[in-house]
Amino acid sequence: MGAATERAARRAAKLAAKPAGVALLLCAALSAYDLGGRAEYVGGTITQIPPGCHGRVQAIDDKFFVFYAGKASWRVPYEKINLVEYGEKVDRRYVAAVLISPLFLLAKKRQHFLTVGYSDEEDRQQAMIFKINKDDIRTTLVVLEARTGRKVEYQDDDARKSGKG
The per-residue pLDDT for 30 is 37
Closest CA to 131 of 37, 35, 45: 37
* Chain center to CA of 92: 22
pLDDT of residue 58: 93
Q: What is the pLDDT of residues 121-151, one digit of tens each?
A: 999 999 999 999 989 988 999 999 999 999 9
Q: Is the pLDDT of residue 95 over 80?
A: no
- Mean of pLDDT values over 88-101: 54
The ranges of the chain annotated as CATH 2.30.29.30 are 34-164
Question: What's the confidence (pLDDT) of residue 55?
Answer: 96
Tens digits of per-residue pLDDT, 33-91? Answer: 455 789 999 999 999 999 999 999 998 888 999 999 988 999 999 999 999 999 887 55
CATH class of 34-164: mainly beta
Label residues 99-115 b or e (16+ Cβ within 10 Å = b). eeeeebeeeeeeebbbb
Alpha carbon of 26 to those of 19, 36, 129: distances in Å? 11, 18, 34
pLDDT tens for each residue of 8-19? 556 555 545 554
